[in-house]
Amino acid sequence: MKIVLAQIGRRFNREWIFNHIDYTFETGKSYAILGINGSGKSTLLQIISGALTSSVGNISYFMAGKEIQVEEIFQHFSLAAPYLDLIEEFTLLEVLEFHFNFKKRIDGLTNEQLVDLLNMQKSKNKQLKYFSSGMKQRVKLLLAFCSDTPLLLLDEPTANLDEQGIIWYLELVKTFADNRLIIVCSNQAHEYAFCDHKILVADYK
């Protein structure tokens, strides 16, 4: 997969969050979008995902040399982010079943194998509204990493995770990140230490 940003800019009212971004993302590489809180990292990621439109510029997506329309890009990425909601009335097993009606499972992993990866065997029939914030974040990360998509978007991936959870996240990276295009929004070094390339939002102010 290849994503090409051409003179991308976004403003709210009269204030430019960023502007004049020319950048190409390619499969097999990992990228970190860096900046302080409120710098526009998440906004840029949402533009890349097609959830937001840019104020100026163009974004193009390609698979095997063929252009993908922005309306279809959701089929090709998975996302974990603090602002992404889970259906809290569902049990863990119901969340897994629901999510993978829309995304292909990586390596054909079963629900039981996914529960084992989460180490949540005792909570698989519990509604998510009774999960801690850290448990919910683990579920979000698992759904993203274990969806068989060429593009993986991660926004503050270790938010609400303790030290053990951070180690678990880094194991997911080792296990499921190969041969994918990965973009991480972060200001925490441990979240993006594996990334090959770094983009500073402040460079495009």
- 14-38 per-position pLDDT tens digit: 899 999 999 999 999 999 999 998 8
Instruction: Determine how many CB atoms are found less than 10 A away from the CB of residue 28.
Output: 12
| pLDDT (average), residues 70-88 | 94
Q: Which residues of 123-155 are buried (b: 16+ CB within 10 A; e: fewer)?
A: bbeeebeebeeebbbbbbbbbbbbbebebbbbb
CB-CB neighbours of 168 under 10 Å: 18
pLDDT for res 114: 98
Q: Are the C-beta atoms of residues 140 and 66 closer than 8 Å to each other?
A: no
Share of the chain above pLDDT 70, in %: 100
- Total-model pTM: 0.94
Q: How confident is the model at residue 205 (pLDDT cuts 50, 70, 90)?
A: confident
What integer is the mean pLDDT of 34-62? 95
Average pLDDT over residues 136-163: 97
Asked if pLDDT for residue 98 goes beyond 90, the answer is yes
Strand 30-34: give its sheet, edge to edge.
77-80, 151-155, 181-186, 30-34, 197-200
Q: What mean pLDDT is predicted for residues 178-197?
A: 96
The 10 Å Cβ neighbour count of residue 70 is 13
Look up residue 104 and give its DSSP letter. P
- pLDDT band of residue 63 (cuts 50, 70, 90) is very high
User: Which pLDDT does position 44 carry in this prediction?
Assistant: 97
Tell me what the pLDDT averaged over the chain comes to: 96
Structural domain span for residue 83: 2-204
Which two three-digit tokens encode residue 55? 């104020």
* Number of domains, the chain: 1
Structure token digits, residue 193: 């230490």
Q: What is the mean pLDDT of residues 51-80?
A: 95
Mean pLDDT of 40-51: 96
> Which CATH number goes with the domain that contains 68?
3.40.50.300
Q: Across residues 32-48, what is the average pLDDT?
A: 95
How far, in Å, CA of 30 to CA of 182, rounded? 5
